[in-house]
Amino acid sequence: MEKEVEFIIANWLREIDMNWGWIKEFNQMILKYVMLTFQIHAFFFLNYHKFLQKKKNTVAKFFRELKVFQGHLSAVTCAQFSPDGDMICSCSNDKTIRIWDMQSEEEIKQFKGHSDCVTKVQYSPDGLTIVSSSYDTTIRLWDVQSGRELRSLTGHTDIVTGAEFSPDGHAIVSCSYDTTILIWNTSSGRQIQRIEGHLDKVTAARYSPDGQMIASSSCDKTFDYGK
């Protein structure tokens, strides 16, 4: 394939040279770059099936849009599947949290309580509770079945950028523009640990799969992990 492409472009260049009489050195450089780029693209598109078959563990997926859920009145900041995959929870700058049925594509519940943009939502491991974080500096817990607000957790002094359950659901980790990471007891809503170290806004915090460590990222150009 490469030889064929080179032959075609070589003849093309020869034809241009005959008709124009000369080609500026700069144009020659551009044409060589075009030839190389064309070769790379041609090679990939002709051989990508072989590449996928070469290793069974190599996976390439081409996704297509299946459904569109509409209802929020402003930017949607997060969307999460329920543990059983039957529902999706979303949040938005319109201050609301909404639950959608995957099959019917209908909005089945709407939670209101935050006084500013909602930044993130997540289902608890058992799918019965949702945790949300907001610009209003609070973290809130919601009952999925009733839509009732169970608890409001206060402790951050600036925008809360995220809140997530631990793998066992017994704790929640939150992070904020106030540069801190807080850990909460899910049942009591009590703050059980305060982690400081970042020098700028904390953008995300997540538990490790075993729940023994937390990884965090920040606008201070670092990411950390700790127990």
CA distance 32 to 50: 27
Q: Which residues contact 1 (CB under 8 A, 6 or more apart)?
A: 39, 42, 43, 46
pLDDT of amino acid 4? 59
pLDDT of amino acid 179? 94
pLDDT of amino acid 43? 55
The residue ranges of every structural domain in the chain are 2-54, 76-226
CA distance 47 to 78: 37
Collect the ranges in the chain with pLDDT lower than 50: 21-22, 26
CA distance 159 to 162: 9
pLDDT of amino acid 98? 92
How open is the CA angle 185-151-226, to the nearest 5 degrees?
30
Buried b (16+ CB within 10 A) or exposed e, 53-78: eeeeeeeeeeeeeeeebeebeeebbb
pLDDT of amino acid 17? 56
pLDDT of amino acid 172? 97
pLDDT of amino acid 8? 60
pLDDT of amino acid 70? 74
pLDDT of amino acid 87? 93
Amino acid code (one letter) for 181? I
CA distance 133 to 13: 61
CB 124 within 8 A of CB 131: yes
pLDDT in tens, 114-166: 999 999 999 999 999 999 999 999 999 999 999 999 999 999 999 999 999 99
Task: Read off φ and ψ for residue 20, nearest 5 degrees.
Answer: -95, -20
What is the Rg, in whole angstroms, of the alpha carbon atoms belonging to the chain? 26
pLDDT of amino acid 209? 93
CA distance 207 to 64: 31
pLDDT of amino acid 40? 57
pLDDT of amino acid 197? 84
**Mean pLDDT across the chain:** 81
- 76-226 fold: Methylamine Dehydrogenase; Chain H (2.130.10)
CA distance 84 to 59: 24
Three-class SS state of 37 = helix
Nearest to 180 by CA among 164, 159, 166: 159
pLDDT of amino acid 180? 95
Instruction: Return the residue matching tokens 């729940």.
Output: 211
